[in-house]
Chains A and B, each alone.
Chain A
Amino acid sequence: MSKILMKGNEAIAEAAIRSGCRLYFAYPITPQSELIEYMAKMMPKVKGTFIQAESEVAAINMVYGAAGSGKRVMTSSSSPGISLKMEGLSYIAGAELPCVVVNVQRGGPGLGDIQPAQGDYFQATKGGGHGDYRLIVLAPSSVQEFADMASEAFDLADKYRNPVMILADGMLGQMMEPVEFKPAKTDAELQELANQHLSWCICPNEDGAKKHHHEINSLELDPQVLEQHVLGLLKKYAEIQKNEIRYETYNISDENEVLCVAWGTASRVVKSAINEVQKQGKSVGLIRPIRVWPYPYEAIKQVIGKNVKKVYVFELNSGQMVEDVKIAVEGKVPVDFWGKVGGVVFTPAEIKEKLEECF
């Protein structure tokens, strides 16, 4: 398979279809509209379902129904629309349903603007909806990674029966980069996927006398019973934290005097700046969480080299992931933060200047 030059929004849609997603429900919003448009065009060609829902609220509840039927299903939106999906996501997490949600973030709060931002980190990783639940959150930094995360997200969702969010941004959605797709699922693989959840999902009764009665539900009025349910969820989340942490290290060495932490689009700008300051003989490393929940607390602690004087966090928000970095660093070295808000993306030159100030 050769490389194709493609927008992130289209690449994630194509990759989702190749991963066996045949149901997609969404509502248009900038800067993710190419995603919904791609699905509108391609789903009929694979005999899949595309519905432009009346709202993001309806779309996420269609996802709830389809996920409850055991099928691979996806929705996507951008920040304000993701807020509307939070009710549904809480129900989906509570009912333990597998699904994939793509957030092509834009500047906020409120309507904000339509430029790239990372202001939904707290919403994605700390809750957003009500109650004790977690999303698995994948944070791509290139179009290729965005596309690769489709199959990863569906596999994680199926494995843990948990909603998975791909937390991208307007830049990754709108940018074109070469992308190489994995082969599409074969009919045999699709059949296997279709049957993997029959023990609990909504499906025709073919059990004869042992007729099943599956309930897709997040309600339990007896606090003792609900407690047990939530404890079960927590056990699952602990398992996810044990197995599913992913991060990338860049230019990490014992010479590092500054350790940067950045995710998604921001991490790319930081890499450019590191390349520049490296030419001046200044050693700066980067650790990039590829998944922002579960979070690589231990890894960050481990890569702080003996010469590191400062951990520097760069985000396209007012300082959200930096709180997790502080937890990871445990006060061993100072943690500093610099970011841009409102959909303004910092430049390599600006980060370079910030890094130079550290020496």
Chain B
Amino acid sequence: MTTEMICAGFGGQGVLTIGKFIAQAAMQEGKNVSWLPSYGPEMRGGTANVSTVVSTEPIASPIVSFPDVLVALNQPSIDKFAPSIRPGGLLIYNTNMCPRGCKREDITKIAVPMNDIASEIGSMIVLNMVATGVVIGKTDIIKYETLEGNLTSFMQEKNPDLLTKNLAAIKRGIEIAKQYT
């Protein structure tokens, strides 16, 4: 069982972190993982993307040509990567920044106003955790508990308020995803 995922958005939206948290948790759950970011000048305020592969088998290529899951935080990411989503695959996108959305009908689409949700929770920087929650709620790529444990040990001492907001964002994402099953 292999899940190939691309997360894409503007630099600063935290797309690399989505991939990293999922890869980290999947590794702890005994899976093989790879995390391959775009890098270079495009990271400075331009678009960023990361390919994450989670598999029960050894991972040959970490390069994802046809993702099972695309997380798109802005419209350019849909334009660039949505055409190559595998038929039957999953697109999770941020409606606040994807005005045109995606026209494909052969995939599952979960449209989430991530900016709105993040600002309701009280911090724009948890936008990416809303997306992460949707991924967890819709796929079985990782368990929520693994991620919660990681975030807790990482943030509880340094920034307990941010931890609370992050977990709230993930849970909101999971709830939204459940509506699509």
Contact surface of A with B, Cβ cutoff 8 Å = 3, 5, 30-31, 113-115, 170-171, 174-178, 268-269, 271-272, 275, 345, 347-349
| A275 surroundings in chain B (CB, below 8 A) | 60
**What are 22 A-B residue pairs whose CB atoms fall within 8 Å in the complex?**
A3-B27, A31-B39, A114-B39, A170-B39, A175-B34, A175-B36, A175-B37, A176-B20, A176-B36, A177-B33, A177-B35, A177-B62, A178-B27, A178-B33, A268-B61, A269-B61, A269-B63, A271-B60, A271-B61, A272-B60, A345-B63, A348-B63
| A3 surroundings in chain B (CB, below 8 A) | 27
| CB-contacts of B44-65 with A (<8 A) | 59-63, 65
Measured in the bound complex, the distance between the Cα atoms of B38 and A114 in whole Å is 11
**Chain A residue with the shortest CB-CB distance to B39:** A174
The smallest C-beta distance from B133 to any residue of chain A, in angstroms, reads: 20
Knowing A5-B20, A5-B23, A5-B27, the reply to whether A174 touches B61 (Cβ < 8 A) is no
Count A-B pairs with CB separation below 8 Å.
61
Measured in the bound complex, the distance between the Cα atoms of B17 and A176 in whole Å is 12
Contact at B61–A5, with CB atoms within 8 Å?
no
B3 within 8 A of A: no
Measured in the bound complex, the distance between the Cα atoms of B55 and A177 in whole Å is 12
| A349 surroundings in chain B (CB, below 8 A) | 65-66
**Chain A residue with the shortest CB-CB distance to B57:** A275
**Chain B residue with the shortest CB-CB distance to A268:** B61
Contact at B37–A174, with CB atoms within 8 Å?
yes
* Chain A interface, >50% SS class: mixed
| A113 surroundings in chain B (CB, below 8 A) | 40
Knowing A5-B20, A5-B33, A178-B32, the reply to whether A272 touches B39 (Cβ < 8 A) is no
The smallest C-beta distance from B143 to any residue of chain A, in angstroms, reads: 17
Q: Which of A178, A271, A275 has most chain B Cβ within 10 Å? A: A178
Task: Select which of B34, B63, B65 is within 8 A of A176 by beta carbon.
Answer: B34
**Chain A residue with the shortest CB-CB distance to B35:** A176
Knowing A176-B23, A271-B60, the reply to whether A114 touches B33 (Cβ < 8 A) is no
B24 within 8 A of A: yes
**Chain B residue with the shortest CB-CB distance to A343:** B40
Closest 3 CB pairs of A and B: A271-B60, A272-B61, A272-B60
| B20 surroundings in chain A (CB, below 8 A) | 5, 176
The smallest C-beta distance from B153 to any residue of chain A, in angstroms, reads: 14
Contact at A115–B23, with CB atoms within 8 Å?
no
Task: Select which of A5, A30, A177, A347 is within 8 A of B63 by beta carbon.
Answer: A347
The smallest C-beta distance from A237 to any residue of chain B, in angstroms, reads: 33
Measured in the bound complex, the distance between the Cα atoms of B35 and A175 in whole Å is 6
Measured in the bound complex, the distance between the Cα atoms of B34 and A345 in whole Å is 16
Contact at A5–B65, with CB atoms within 8 Å?
no
Task: Select which of B23, B37, B60 is within 8 A of A348 by beta carbon.
Answer: B60
Q: Which of B20, B24, B39, B59 has most chain A Cβ within 10 Å? A: B39
Measured in the bound complex, the distance between the Cα atoms of B66 and A2 in whole Å is 31
20 additional contacts (CB under 8 A) given A5-B35, A115-B40, A176-B34: A5-B20, A30-B39, A31-B39, A31-B40, A113-B40, A175-B34, A176-B20, A176-B35, A177-B34, A177-B35, A177-B62, A178-B27, A178-B32, A178-B33, A268-B60, A268-B62, A269-B60, A275-B60, A347-B61, A349-B66
